[in-house]
DNA sequence: GCCGGTTGAGATAACGTTATCCCGAAAGGT
DNA sequence: ACCTTTCGGGATAACGTTATCTCAACCGGC
């Protein structure tokens, strides 16, 4: 910048004014400065600008896997863009240690705020950051043990809707195959399922199968649920990946048993019959997360809010298969 | 930092030494400084550190859609992490203007280098950045008109492999349904297909259908190719999204016509028969991109390299369906 | 001819770090 | 007792910006 000033024969401050489009600089000087900028390949340094001016205009997004389908992240990017903010994202890979490194790195860069899909149970490292003024909104799962803004889907209502949908169509034996219950959403959905089953007076244990997503486990769960003297006539799955694996294992039998999947996906309309799903409102979740983050940035001491976004049951066929008597 | 120094009763420079784990500071003083850091909720400012020290340790990734499946990005993140670099990513949304904003923003932040999935045809805005020392590697598509490092899949060999695979199994009428040819890879694949068809002495035009991904267009293309007096017995698709749409439209007819899809995906083993695909070597593409970027950062004047990564035909069933005579 | 207001532009001091240079004291050798 | 090392630590000056203050010149009005 000092070189540009010398080249243009003006003061340092005038170069800054030109770069920032300050109107108090005459057109002649501005042209000289622009010429000097082009001649010297001058690039302004955002870090120095932020350091001096104090504004960053940047949001961080720490999500499980950047390279996976993540409609919430898409909504976050869109909402942030509409608000004139830039989003820089990184993956946490479902690794607590990596999550910590990513978030701390974003803090050191003084991002205005962070949207986090939290993993694991120990978020103690956040305490000093929050004390030092970090604005944070958790998405999809709460930050356990810490009073932090968050936006969640209504998992319980989703499972209830699926269960009722099936029960109303005459299903008496409804099974649930879900993800590892160490994951918050998986635990919440499985618990909701067990409550539904218990409320309708049925044996719970034989119908709820949860654990890590492995082909062998899914196959065993399906076998346990469909074989035997009183087989299930309907299956609710715990998330999109489980849905894929269950449908893969069911194969030709997919038309014989009712299936409702948690999470919508492009697969849902590829299969025959199309998959009935409990769809999360990703647009609303992402948009709300950005709104809440901006509100917290503007007013750090505002009360913590926990927002639950409704889900929607989308009937497409697989959930409307009647029980085989 | 100056507050911490005062609190601990040491010089500013000593706080910096402690934060950076400099061994020349005595354990007693270090403990005092750490206590002061904790007491004052001091967070080091990465921007100031970078400004002074000159090192950022950060790579930018500008990809089409963060929230879509992108195995290359995953490989990039992994390789960068192994090299001790942080990756911050943003979406370009297939929008030239947004790509420019994202890349320029990363430049102003002085990221060490950028990995870019370039879109569109006009990358003139990159010229001054490159002149000013930007390290950049293009992935999946080249930066048209500019001599820039890039890592590409061997699209031509992939199409040739698919065509031969089908021809060897007796298919005489092979069709291609691809993406909009304004997209580089789509154009390259379509051209390769036409060359294959011409080489085997067949009419080309009626068998190659390209254009934007819209359900109506795909349906019309399939109808044009399968109906009529000499219907195609095999279809090659131009990318994963086209594969999904083609299979959706084929429906029950999917078992009657051979299909080879470009790009592997989790869908491929969900359908019956499983989908034969031309799989890109995402791991190698991502890893190579990071290697090349690091090499260019280390040696800005090294000659530009264009690397083509082989693809692999994975036979799973759908590509081995014999022609129906 | 003087005064108040506007307008264009320079000087200087931050922002929060680290690099460089320097110094005092303790340790070790003759 | 003196000289040299080594080591712990301080003072000061950058890094590339912008905020704040200042100042000169110009202009119209009375």
If asked whether residues B14 and B160 sit together in one domain, one would say no
Q: How far apart are CA A321 and CA B190, in angstroms?
A: 42
If asked whether residues A196 and A171 sit together in one domain, one would say yes
If asked whether residues A248 and A223 sit together in one domain, one would say yes
If asked whether residues A83 and A31 sit together in one domain, one would say no
If asked whether residues B166 and B305 sit together in one domain, one would say no
Nearest CB to B41: which of A44, A48, A128?
A128
If asked whether residues B159 and B277 sit together in one domain, one would say yes
Quick check: is B103 in a domain?
yes
Q: How far apart are CA A153 and CA A139, in angstroms?
A: 9
Domains: count for chain A: 3
Q: Which residues contact B273 (CB under 8 A, 6 or more apart)?
A: B254, B255, B316, B317, B318, B321
**Contact status, residue A136 vs residue A123, Cβ threshold 8 Å:** no
Quick check: is A17 in a domain?
yes
Quick check: is A50 in a domain?
no
Residue ranges making up the domain that contains B265: 155-281+313-320
Beta strand B276-279 with B312-314: parallel, antiparallel or unpaired? antiparallel
Q: What is the pLDDT along chain B (325 residues), one digit of tens a residue?
A: 888 888 888 888 888 888 888 777 777 888 888 888 988 889 999 999 999 998 899 999 999 999 899 999 999 999 999 999 999 999 999 899 999 999 999 999 999 999 999 988 889 999 999 998 999 999 999 998 899 999 999 999 999 999 999 999 999 999 999 999 988 999 999 999 999 999 988 777 789 999 999 889 999 999 999 988 888 999 999 999 999 999 988 888 888 999 999 999 888 888 778 999 999 999 999 999 999 999 999 999 999 999 999 999 999 999 999 998 6
Q: How far is the CA of B6 from the C1' of C28 (A)?
A: 35
Task: For strand D, give the nucleotides within 7 A of a protein CB.
Answer: 7-20
Closest residue on chain B to A84 (Cα): B101
B42 CB contact with strand C at below 7 Å: yes
If asked whether residues A222 and A163 sit together in one domain, one would say yes
Q: What share of chain A has pLDDT > 70, as a percent?
A: 100
Angle (nearest 5°) at CA A74 between A237 and B85:
100
Instruction: List for chain B the helix, strand, coil content (%; round to 5).
Output: 45, 15, 35
For the residues A134-142, what does the mean pLDDT come to?
96
Quick check: is A187 in a domain?
yes
**Closest listed residue to residue B240, CA positions, set B123, B89, B56, B71:** B71
Closest residue on chain B to A240 (Cα): B266
Q: How far apart are CA B209 and CA B218, in angstroms?
A: 9
Nearest CB to B77: which of A91, A129, A244?
A91
If asked whether residues B174 and B272 sit together in one domain, one would say yes
3-state secondary structure of B149: strand
A125 CB contact with strand D at below 7 Å: no
Q: How far apart are CA B177 and CA B222, in angstroms?
A: 8
Quick check: is B51 in a domain?
no
Quick check: is A273 in a domain?
yes
Interface A–B counts its CB contacts (< 8 A) at: 123
Q: Which residues contact A286 (CB under 8 A, 6 or more apart)?
A: A71, A72, A73, A74, A75, A76, A77, A78, A79, A139
CB contact under 8 A, A90 and B87: yes
Which of B42, B67, B72, B266 is the mutation pick for testing A, counting most A CBs within 10 A?
B67
Instruction: Name the residue with higher pLDDT: B154 or A229.
Output: B154
Whether the per-residue pLDDT at A325 is higher than 80: the answer is no
Predicted confidence at residue A3, as pLDDT, reads: 87
If asked whether residues A121 and A227 sit together in one domain, one would say no
Task: For strand C, give the nucleotides within 7 A of a protein CB.
Answer: 7-20
What's B17's domain CATH number? 1.10.260.40
CB contact under 8 A, B88 and A91: no
If asked whether residues A300 and A269 sit together in one domain, one would say no
Quick check: is A325 in a domain?
no
> Which CA-bearing residue is nearest the C1' of C15?
A52
If asked whether residues B261 and B167 sit together in one domain, one would say yes
A19 CB contact with strand D at below 7 Å: yes
Closest residue on chain B to A38 (Cα): B128
Quick check: is B237 in a domain?
yes
If asked whether residues A31 and A128 sit together in one domain, one would say no
Q: How far is the CA of A3 from the C1' of D8 (A)?
A: 39
What's B160's domain CATH number? 3.40.50.2300
């Amino acid at each position: 910048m000092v070189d540009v000033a010398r080249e243009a024969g003006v003061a340092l401050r005038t170069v800054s004014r030109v770069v920032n489009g300050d109107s108090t600089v005459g057109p002649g000087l501005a042209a000289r400065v622009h010429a000097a900028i082009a001649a010297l390949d001058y690039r302004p340094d955002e870090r120095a600008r932020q350091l001096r001016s104090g504004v960053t205009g940047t949001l961080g997004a720490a999500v499980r896997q950047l390279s996976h389908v993540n409609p919430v992240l898409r909504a976050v990017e869109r909402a942030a863009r509409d608000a004139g903010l830039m989003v820089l994202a990184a993956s946490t890979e479902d690794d607590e240690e990596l999550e910590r490194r990513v978030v701390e790195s974003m803090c050191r860069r003084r991002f205005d705020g962070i949207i986090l899909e939290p993993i694991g149970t120990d978020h103690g490292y956040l305490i000093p950051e929050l004390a030092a003024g970090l604005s944070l909104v958790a998405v999809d799962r709460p930050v356990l043990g810490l009073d932090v803004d968050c936006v969640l889907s209504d998992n319980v209502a989703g499972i209830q809707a699926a269960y009722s949908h099936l029960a109303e169509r005459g299903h008496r034996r409804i099974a649930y195959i879900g993800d590892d219950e160490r994951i918050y959403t998986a635990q919440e959905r499985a618990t909701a399922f067990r409550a539904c089953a218990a409320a309708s007076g049925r044996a719970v244990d034989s119908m709820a199968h949860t654990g890590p997503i492995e082909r062998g486990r899914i196959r065993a769960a399906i076998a346990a649920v469909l074989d035997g003297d009183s087989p299930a006539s309907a299956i609710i799955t715990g998330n999109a990946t489980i849905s894929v694996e269950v449908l893969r294992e069911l194969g030709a039998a997919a038309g014989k048993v009712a299936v409702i999947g948690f999470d919508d996906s492009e697969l849902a309309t590829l299969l025959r019959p199309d998959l009935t799903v409990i769809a999360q409102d990703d647009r609303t979740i992402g948009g709300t997360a950005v709104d809440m983050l901006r509100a917290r940035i503007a007013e750090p001491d505002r009360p913590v809010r926990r927002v639950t976004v409704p889900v929607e049951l989308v009937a497409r066929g697989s959930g409307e298969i009647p029980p085989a008597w």
